[in-house]
């Protein structure tokens, strides 16, 4: 079968012809309820509900969904499927189960999260949620542990590298949109508020900042520490009550663990910039995130068992983990700063800024974000603790 972009009607026919998926849904195809829930930049997503169960169907389009003239290879669906298969081995309760992958249709059929909602939307709607950051910290540490050179034979790491090294189209998006465009003239950068132009131009001329960005570009491309999610913002997390899940792993690649941590923390900080009255709540989440991450990493990497670091005598294991965590922390700080900047002036901005009720409030929120982002990028190799990040980020 050759590729065609699905509609609710053709998806119904498609699922009806697949015995295993049809029996998961139950009843006859005409009784299934199908709704499109696409809200990301790239793909089509449908939720299909029958009287026995539900599935989520995610299909790649040959272009960026929100920018049809921007072509995008369909193969990204393959990397998302591989990511889900790899993460299943990490046995984290925060993953999503993949039921089927159709490599001709570039279609993933997965567990439907119902009635879960995206974390970013819940934050924007000011829903009564808290402590969602500990599960995310555990998710990152468990998936890092399952793919690290310190816990696996190097042959396994090489296999993972190979599985994801072809994910170049989406890595290109990261390299351009996060690691480059905000710091240069680019047609992809939207026109900013006039008041931001001097700040943006000053950043683009700041030699120290450009050196720090270049260092982080190199870290991203060369520090192949573990399998990353690669797009771990608050729109890639869904939750309902205590059940917290990570979706949308199409950007997966081997990279610096601090990239996932940094993106997550950045999106919390961005939310606080847009909603300054929530700064204390957000600070608390960031603290919980880093405390949990540190504890889990110390526990999981307690005794290095891979081909790397196993020569160390036991009394040096603690110092080894501390140094590893310090390196991850510096990357976290830097990538956090880059994500804050790109979500404020780059191509893919965030809905959180719509919380600002006046143009003045929105401008102030963006100015605050840029100044935090810039400080984190510039200082990423010198900031020593999460408390220092929380101090830089005092928006009130
Ligand atoms: P994109 O790659 O285009 O960003 P996402 O994987 O983020 O696509 O999915 C887009 C939206 O579809 C999500 O924001 C969420 O609302 C919904 N969604 C994605 N996966 C699921 C799922 N497994 N269960 C329920 N809804 C989902
Ligand atoms: Mg998404
Ligand atoms: Mg995506
Ligand atoms: Mg040892």
User: Distance, CA 347 to ligand 3 centroid (Å)?
Assistant: 15
Ligand 1 pocket, residue 110 CB under 6 Å = yes
Ligand nearest to the CA of 302: 4
At residue 14's C-alpha, the angle toward residues 10 and 18, to 5°, is 165
> 396 falls in which pLDDT band (50, 70, 90)?
low
**Same domain for 103 and 132?**
no
Please check whether residue 341 lies inside any domain of the structure: yes
Phi-psi region for residue 342, left (φ > 0), alpha (ψ -120 to 50) or beta? Answer: alpha
d(CA 366, CA 196): 8
Q: Which residue has the higher pLDDT, 202 or 131?
A: 202
From ligand 3's centre to the CA of 62, what distance in Å?
14
Tell me: do 86 and 124 sit in the same domain: no
Measured from the alpha carbon of residue 246, the closest ligand is 1
94 and 190 assigned to the same domain = no
Please report which ligand is nearest the Cα atom of 64: 1
Let me know whether 145 and 63 are in one domain. Answer: no
319-364 pLDDT, tens digit each: 999 999 999 999 999 999 999 999 999 999 999 999 999 999 999 9
pLDDT at 304: 79
Mean pLDDT to the nearest integer, 250-276: 98
ipTM, interface predicted TM-score of the complex = 0.97
Query: In whole numbers, what is the pLDDT of the chain averaged over residues?
Result: 96
Find out whether 267 and 115 touch, Cβ atoms under 8 Å.
Answer: no
Domain's final residue, options 78, 94, 111: 111
Indicate if 65 and 134 belong to the same structural domain: no
Q: Judge if the beta carbon of residue 60 lies within 6 A of ligand 1.
A: no
How many A from CA of 182 to the centre of ligand 2?
21
Task: Kindly state whether residues 362 and 232 are assigned to the same domain.
Answer: yes
Pocket lining: 40 vs ligand 1, CB cutoff 6 Å: yes
**Residue 45 CA, closest ligand 1 atom number:** 12
Q: Which residue has the tokens 């970013």?
A: 120
Q: Are residues 96 and 128 in the same domain?
A: no
Distance 28 CA to ligand 2 centre (A): 31
Q: How confident is the model at residue 393 (pLDDT cuts 50, 70, 90)?
A: confident
Give the CATH number, domain containing residue 65: 3.30.200.20
pLDDT at 309: 83
Asked which of 111, 130, 157 is the last residue of a domain, the reply is 111
Q: Considering every ligand atom, which ligand is closest to the CA of 174?
A: 3
Q: Are 348 and 330 in the same domain?
A: yes
Please give the number of the atom of ligand 1 that sits closest to the Cα of 235: 14
Q: Closest ligand 1 atom to the C-alpha of 44?
A: 3
Model pLDDT for residues 116-135, shown as the tens digit of each residue: 999 999 999 999 999 999 99
Hey, which of 5, 34, 40 would you mutate to test ligand 1's pocket, going by the most ligand atoms within 8 Å of its Cβ? Answer: 40
pLDDT digits (tens, 9 = 90+) for 131-189: 999 999 999 999 999 999 999 899 999 999 999 999 999 999 999 999 999 999 999 99
Residues 17 and 57 in one domain: yes
Residue 52 lies in a domain: yes
Q: Which long-range contacts (CB under 8 A, 24 or more apart) does 182-187 make?
A: 182/338, 182/341, 182/342, 182/345, 182/346, 183/209, 183/210, 183/213
Ligand 4 centroid from CA 158, angstroms:
22
CATH number of the domain bearing residue 389? 3.90.1200.10
Q: Within this chain, do residues 284 and 236 fall inside the same structural domain, yes or no?
A: yes
CA 245 to chain centre: 12
| 319 inside domain | yes
Is any ligand 1 atom within 6 A of the Cβ of residue 234? Answer: no
Decide if 269 is inside a domain. Answer: yes
Distance from Cα 156 to the centre of ligand 4, integer Å: 20
- Of 200, 235, 257, 214, the C-alpha closest to 349 is 235
The set of long-range contacts for 304-311, using a CB threshold of 8 Å and a minimum separation of 24, is 304/150, 304/151, 305/150, 305/151, 306/148, 306/149, 306/150, 306/151, 306/152, 306/153, 306/154, 306/157, 307/149, 307/152, 307/153, 307/154, 308/149, 308/150, 308/154, 309/150
64 lines ligand 1 (CB under 6 A): no
Residue 45 Cβ < 6 Å to ligand 1: yes
Helix axes 154-164, 76-89, angle to 10 degrees: 150
Is 378 touching ligand 1 by the criterion CB < 6 Å? no
Q: Which of 22, 250, 49, 246 is nearest to 133 (CA)?
A: 246
Q: Is residue 262 part of a domain?
A: yes
Q: How many domains does the chain have?
A: 2
Q: Ligand 2 centroid vs 321 CA: distance in angstroms?
A: 32
Same domain, 97 and 175: no
Which ligand is in closest contact with the Cα of 150?
4
Q: Residue 129, class by beta-carbon neighbours within 10 Å (0-12 exposed, 13-18 middle, 19+ buried)?
A: middle
d(CA 212, CA 150): 28
- Count other C-beta atoms under 10 Å from residue 190's C-beta: 10
Q: Among 111, 129, 160, which residue terminates a domain?
A: 111
Q: Is residue 3 situated within a structural domain?
A: no
Domain-located, residue 2: no
Q: Which of 151, 327, 162, 321 is nearest to 254 (CA)?
A: 162
Residue 1 forms part of a structural domain: no
pLDDT at 395 over 70: no
Structural domain that includes position 80: 8-111
**Do residue 125 and residue 100 come from a single domain?**
no
């Amino acid at each position: 079968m050759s590729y065609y972009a699905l509609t609710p009607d053709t998806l119904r026919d498609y699922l009806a012809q697949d015995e295993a998926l049809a029996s998961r849904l139950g009843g006859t195809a005409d009784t299934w309820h199908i709704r499109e829930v696409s809200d990301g930049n790239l793909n089509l997503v449908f939720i299909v509900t029958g009287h026995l169960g539900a599935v989520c169907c995610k299909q790649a389009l040959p272009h960026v969904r929100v920018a049809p003239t921007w072509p995008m290879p369909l193969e990204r669906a393959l990397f998302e499927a591989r990511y889900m298969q790899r993460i299943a081995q990490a046995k984290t309760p925060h993953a999503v189960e993949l039921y089927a992958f159709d490599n001709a249709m570039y279609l993933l059929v997965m567990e439907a999260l119902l009635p879960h909602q995206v974390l970013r939307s819940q934050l924007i709607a000011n829903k009564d949620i808290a402590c969602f950051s500990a599960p995310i910290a555990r998710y990152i540490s468990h998936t890092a542990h399952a793919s690290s050179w310190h816990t696996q034979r190097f042959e396994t790491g090489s296999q993972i590298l190979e599985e994801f090294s072809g994910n170049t189209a989406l890595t290109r998006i990261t390299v351009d949109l996060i690691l480059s465009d905000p710091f240069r003239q680019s047609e992809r950068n939207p026109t900013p508020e006039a008041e931001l132009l001097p700040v943006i131009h000053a950043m683009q001329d700041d030699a120290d900042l450009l050196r720090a960005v270049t260092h982080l570009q190199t870290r991203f491309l060369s520090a192949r520490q573990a399998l990353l999610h690669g797009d771990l913002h608050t729109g890639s997390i869904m939750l309902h009550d205590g059940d917290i899940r990570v979706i949308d792993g199409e950007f997966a690649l081997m990279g610096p663990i601090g990239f996932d941590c940094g993106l997550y923390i950045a999106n919390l900080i961005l939310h606080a910039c847009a909603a300054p009255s929530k700064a204390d709540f957000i600070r608390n989440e960031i603290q919980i995130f880093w405390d949990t991450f540190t504890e889990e990493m110390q526990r999981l990497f307690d005794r290095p068992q891979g081909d790397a670091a196993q020569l160390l005598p036991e009394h040096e294991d603690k110092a080894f983990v501390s140094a590893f965590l310090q390196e991850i922390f510096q990357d976290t700080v830097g990538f956090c700063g880059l994500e804050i900047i790109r979500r404020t002036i780059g191509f893919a901005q965030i809905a959180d800024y719509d919380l600002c009720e006046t143009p003045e409030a929105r401008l102030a929120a963006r100015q605050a974000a840029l100044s935090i982002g810039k400080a984190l990028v510039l200082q990423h190799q010198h900031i020593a603790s999460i408390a220092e990040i929380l101090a830089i980020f005092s928006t009130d």
